[in-house]
Amino acid sequence: MTSPFLVAPAATRPLEAAGPADIVVGIPSFNNARTIGHVVEAAHAGLVKYFPQRRSVIVNSDGGSTDGTTAIVTDLRMPSNEMLLISHPVFPPHRLTIPYHGLPGKGSAFRCIFEVAARLGAKACAVVDSDLRSISPEWIQLLVGPVLEQGYDYVAPYYFRHKYDGTITNSLVYPVTRALYGQRVRQPIGGDFGMSGTLASHYLRQPVWGSDVARYGIDIWMTTTAICDGFRVCQAFLGTKLHDAKDPGADLSAMLVQVLGTLFSLMETYVVRWSDVSGSAETPLIGFRYAVGVEPIEVDVSRMIARFRSGAANLGDIWAEALTPRNLAALRLVASDCTAEFHLDDRLWVRVVYDLAAAYHHQRLDREQLLKASLPLYLGRVASFVREMADLDAAAVEERLERLCLEFERAKGYLTTRWQSPEPAARSSDFVLKG
């Protein structure tokens, strides 16, 4: 059973006026006045161009913006349909802006969109970020088309990104998700998704909407749930994602704690699913893959290394409760190396991540304390990656990430052993990887 409907009573009448819909495109927002107009226009153009025979609704699910975001959505005047199409659309898209209620966060905005889709009986639903600068009408076709035309339930995005963008995805979420569940979904927290109405209703029935998933971890939860609960999953190539990218060492600390907590929590939910998985398989990719330009990202490597070394000096007691003695000693050796060759290798990083997952599972520490203490470890790994990748092109970086993913897959036995051992790491035998 779902909890009470999140849409405010004042929005019920325009929702009813929109009537039944085949497609719902949701745009969650909070103070995105600078970019949301472009996103709404692209979504509208995509629906008119590619799905003129389908009833469609664009829903802006807003979290209380104070910068005029919702006014921009409602006041937009779209170009004439004839400029967008050869054929006139039978059902022009409706446009709604709805304040959501419930826990603050992106997940609550998504839940509101899913409930609108369920109420309107939508066959397909897409959700796109409100800070996008690279979205085009084709994105709507690529996110919705595989659902309506090929029977997929979940469409994950596939982007070309700068080699220093998406470091949480590249260092943690993609390789761990791939190793655990056996599907290579390259952008499991990409932010832009397509799904069937059946899957959207399935999400609504899950008992997560009063948890931290509703605040923070919605993207990885959606991807993992779709994979593990048996829905058909594919990817859509969307080109480049231009948005408000950030220096991974300066702005992503809160996001890391949120995503890592959800990732580890999902491991407990789906332990039966991942325990027997070995290796991984390609996930179908829809759309023509082509090379695109990306915006450069400036990264402060020295700051990240300093944070890592500070963590090694000040968080030793916490790390000792989570990590095996051998891994802790290896990290301290990395931190003490004052040469220019700062390096945290794949094998050590994989074991550290799996140690943290096991410590979270056994609750040997306060979970929030553990997640926050993981931040310097992540920054050390990213600093090492940035230094190693400085002179490599995108193809070489992707090949390098493939090696990391294979290391996570090979170490599944290590994870299983650590997961099953309730002893604190400092008192457990030091498990050794074979091979």
Same domain? 268 vs 329: no
Go through 19-50 and write b for each residue having 16 or more CB atoms within 10 A of its CB, e for each that does not: eebbbbbbbbbbbbbebbbebbbbbbbbbbbb
Same domain? 141 vs 268: yes
Lowest mean pLDDT among 7-21, 29-43, 268-282, 352-366: 7-21
What is the pLDDT at residue 435? 34
Same domain? 308 vs 274: no
User: Does the residue 344 lie in any domain?
Assistant: yes
Higher pLDDT, 341 or 267: 267
User: Does the residue 294 lie in any domain?
Assistant: no
What is the pLDDT at residue 393? 85
Same domain? 312 vs 195: no
Q: Which of 226, 260, 286 is the last residue of a domain?
A: 286
Same domain? 155 vs 43: yes
Lowest mean pLDDT among 178-187, 274-283, 390-399: 390-399
Whether residue 131 is predicted with pLDDT greater than 80 in this model: the reply is yes
Average pLDDT (412-416) is 96
Question: Within 13 A of 21's CA, how many CA atoms are on the CB side?
Answer: 34
Same domain? 246 vs 322: no
Q: Is 108 helix (H, G, I), strand (E, B) or coil?
A: helix
264 contacts: CB under 8 Å, gap ≥ 6: 356, 357, 360, 361
Average pLDDT (148-170) is 91
Average pLDDT over the chain, rounded to an integer: 86
Higher pLDDT, 29 or 179: 179
Go through 207-219 and write b for each residue having 16 or more CB atoms within 10 A of its CB, e for each that does not: ebbebbbbbbbbb
> Domain holding 58: CATH number?
3.90.550.10
Average pLDDT (210-233) is 90
Dump pLDDT digits (tens) for 200-211: 999 999 998 888
Q: Give whichever of 207-211, 225-229, 362-366 has the largest mean pLDDT.
A: 225-229
Same domain? 325 vs 277: no
User: Does the residue 99 lie in any domain?
Assistant: yes
User: Does the residue 196 lie in any domain?
Assistant: yes
Burial class from Cβ neighbours inside 10 Å (0-12, 13-18, 19+) for residue 285 reads middle
Same domain? 261 vs 139: yes
Same domain? 214 vs 275: yes
Query: pLDDT class for 81, splitting at 50, 70, 90?
Result: very low
What is the pLDDT at residue 80? 45
CA atoms of 34 and 17, how far apart (whole Å): 29
User: Does the residue 432 lie in any domain?
Assistant: no
**Residue 10 DSSP symbol:** G
End-to-end distance of the chain based on CA atoms, in angstroms? Answer: 48
Contact 419, 314 (CB under 8 A): no
User: Does the residue 218 lie in any domain?
Assistant: yes
Give me 339's structure tokens.
């040469």
User: Does the residue 433 lie in any domain?
Assistant: no
What is the pLDDT at residue 6? 55
Rg (CA), the chain: 22
- How many domains is the chain partitioned into structurally? 2
Average pLDDT (295-316) is 90
In angstroms, the Cα distances linking 193 to 119, 124, 132, 157 are 20, 11, 13, 6
Alpha helices (H) along 337-393: 346-362, 367-373, 375-389
Average pLDDT (331-350) is 91
Whether residue 166 is predicted with pLDDT greater than 60 in this model: the reply is yes
Alpha helices (H) along 130-230: 137-150, 167-168, 174-181, 197-204, 218-228
What is the pLDDT at residue 428? 43
Helices 346-362 and 394-410: crossing angle in degrees, nearest 10, is 50
> Parallel, antiparallel, or unpaired: how do β-strands 154-160 and 193-196 relate?
antiparallel
What is the pLDDT at residue 103? 55
pTM of the model: 0.89
Dump pLDDT digits (tens) for 181-197: 999 999 999 889 999 99
Query: pLDDT class for 341, splitting at 50, 70, 90?
Result: confident
Dump pLDDT digits (tens) for 283-294: 999 998 776 666
Contact 143, 43 (CB under 8 A): no
Same domain? 311 vs 279: no
Same domain? 266 vs 325: no
Q: What percent of the chain has pLDDT over 90?
A: 64
User: Does the residue 3 lie in any domain?
Assistant: no
The whole domain housing 83 covers 9-286
Average pLDDT (363-371) is 93
Q: Which of 259, 286, 313 is the last residue of a domain?
A: 286
What is the pLDDT at residue 431? 41
Dump pLDDT digits (tens) for 115-130: 999 999 999 999 999 9
Q: What is the 3-state secondary structure (H, E, C) of 270-321?
A: CHHHHHCCCCCEECCEECCCCCCCCCCCCCCHHHHHHHHHHHHHHCHHHHHH
Average pLDDT (107-122) is 92
Q: Which of 286, 311, 328 is the last residue of a domain?
A: 286
In angstroms, the Cα distances linking 118 to 11, 122, 213, 226, 358 are 15, 6, 20, 17, 37
Contact 320, 425 (CB under 8 A): yes
Higher pLDDT, 77 or 139: 139
What is the pLDDT at residue 381? 95
Same domain? 150 vs 17: yes
